Amino acid sequence: MLERTRTKKQTEVTFVLPAGHPAGDASVVGDFNGWRPGAHPLMPRPDGSRAVTVALPHDQQLGFRYLAHGDYWFDEDNADGHNGSNSLLHT
């Protein structure tokens, strides 16, 4: 799931994974962090879900995916689109 907050200078996007899916550590990897695994790890929330917030410039289209333990890559079902390889986010 994606949550967004738009300010005058940027769009804050919170990437959220449900509790227990997938098991183990996970991070969001994409154009905004040079596709570096572990640069934006999702941290536990009180409800059991995991999330990380990333501040991004307005009016961008960015590709991203999630990377979980065991080299398991997966897409965001509720992304703004998909390009055949990655989930897409519009800020």
Listing DSSP states for the chain in one string gives: -EEEEE-SS-EEEEEEE-TTSSSS-EEEEEGGGTT-TTSSB-EE-TTS-EEEEEEE-SS-EEEEEEEETTTEEE--TTSSEE-SSSEEEE-
How many C-alpha atoms does 52 have within 13 Å on its Cβ side? Answer: 15
Written as six digits, the tokens of 17 are 């994974």
* pLDDT at residue 43 in the model: 96
Q: Would you tell me how many other CB atoms lie within 10 Å of the CB of residue 26? A: 23
Closest to 10 measured CA to CA, from 29, 30, 32, 28? 32
Q: What is the reported pTM? A: 0.93
Range(s) of the domain holding residue 17? 2-90
* pLDDT at residue 54 in the model: 97
Model confidence over 27-82: pLDDT tens digits? Answer: 999 999 999 999 999 999 999 999 999 999 999 999 999 999 989 999 999 999 99
* pLDDT at residue 79 in the model: 96
Q: What is the CATH number of the domain that holds 81?
A: 2.60.40.10
- How many domains are there within the chain? 1
* pLDDT at residue 70 in the model: 86
Band the pLDDT of 23: cuts 50, 70, 90.
confident
